[in-house]
Structure 1
């Protein structure tokens, strides 16, 4: 029985991704702090949850409030089994709806355009610097592949870096004028199987295959024994802040990590790609 309890604890700990667990812990702490500040019992009644939504929506983005509620429910359900039904209460739902209606307009980053992508390519495609080739390859993979920044770069925080999420060099292969690879499991991959991603050229954009070919040649010369696909000149894996630092050297401030995903979806739409294909690729 002790062995079963031990194994159960391990499996329960692996059920939630590390990055999600950190967010859930932050949500739990914010709720407990809110209750302490306002002298409220921590019992998550519909009224208390409604007050929490009102309080938090004036401090953080409402989308984050919704995520926080999910985290609070996950952490407090063992102690307050009724919390899930309380979250579905009319008072809570109407408070969220009212907050959405009352909030300030959402400020979104602009999508990366094909003109901007071509401009970056023109400046870097002849560079012999390994880091420039790395950045250009990551950019030209993310744009047509509709990949999020976290799927190409590792977390800035060492304790959240997970080798199981790193794309491996030996799992990339050429397919005609395209290339494909296995995208490792992410927190949205409930079956933990990963996804096969095929990168093809979008009309009006640089061909991603020769860009990747130049990077791989440089990588093989510098790091012939490293298993990771993405490696900086110093042998480290590129972080999200590293990629954004490179991006901001060529793009205005209204462009960010998610702009590449949005720009790729826009380019596919302009190229009259089927809507279901764009939806599947961007999930």
Structure 2
């Protein structure tokens, strides 16, 4: 098998690696990222600054903002191979952590078990 056919097979297998419902959710994230960039006159190039702005924007409106970034990554990585490098940037990671803390549900803990409960 020549390398071109092998590369085609690799792309075919990768395209079928995720479930249809996941692919649909990912496409929502990708569309949202593209729309965000267009509305704010930003390049689609996923720089740490652009990704941080996108996370901040989506986190303001939906709790799953950082998850949308996964969808954008799925579709844009082939055009921007440095997507993962930008996403790993400390600026982006801090923005993700901050959005998770701000939008997190409060922890509801049960009271501690006491000796009287056991008897």
TM over 0.5: yes
- Residue 114 of structure 1 corresponds to which residue in structure 2? none
Q: 1:26 aligns with which of 20, 25, 28?
A: 28
Larger radius of gyration: 1
Query: How has the CA–CA distance of structure 1 residues 5 and 97 changed in structure 2, closer, same or farther, with 3 Å as cutoff?
Result: closer
- Residue 46 of structure 2 corresponds to which residue in structure 1? 44
Query: How has the CA–CA distance of structure 1 residues 55 and 10 changed in structure 2, closer, same or farther, with 3 Å as cutoff?
Result: same
Asked if structure 1 preserves the Cα contact closer than 8 Å seen for 2:52 and 2:95, the reply is yes
How do residues 77-226 of structure 1 correspond to structure 2 at under 5 angstroms? 77-103=77-103, 105-106=104-105
- Residue 76 of structure 2 corresponds to which residue in structure 1? 76
Q: Which runs of 5+ in 2 are unaligned?
A: 107-119
More contact order relative to length (CA 8 Å, sep ≥ 6): 2
TM-superposed CA distance for 1:12, in Å, is 2.1
Find the aligned partners of 1:100 and 1:87 in 2 and give their Cα distance: 15
More strand by share: 1
TM-superposed CA distance for 1:96, in Å, is 1.5
More helix by share: 2
Once the two structures are superposed, residues 16-44 of structure 1 have per-residue CA deviations (whole angstroms, 9 ceiling, x without a partner) of 21111111111100000000111111110
Find the aligned partners of 2:10 and 2:59 in 1 and give their Cα distance: 37
Q: TM-score, normalised by structure 1?
A: 0.34
User: What is the Cα-based RMSD across aligned positions, in Å?
Assistant: 2.0
- Residue 35 of structure 1 corresponds to which residue in structure 2? 37
Q: Which runs of 5+ in 1 are unaligned?
A: 108-283
TM-superposed CA distance for 1:95, in Å, is 1.0
Query: How has the CA–CA distance of structure 1 residues 50 and 3 changed in structure 2, closer, same or farther, with 3 Å as cutoff?
Result: closer
Find the aligned partners of 1:86 and 1:7 in 2 and give their Cα distance: 28
TM-superposed CA distance for 1:3, in Å, is 5.1
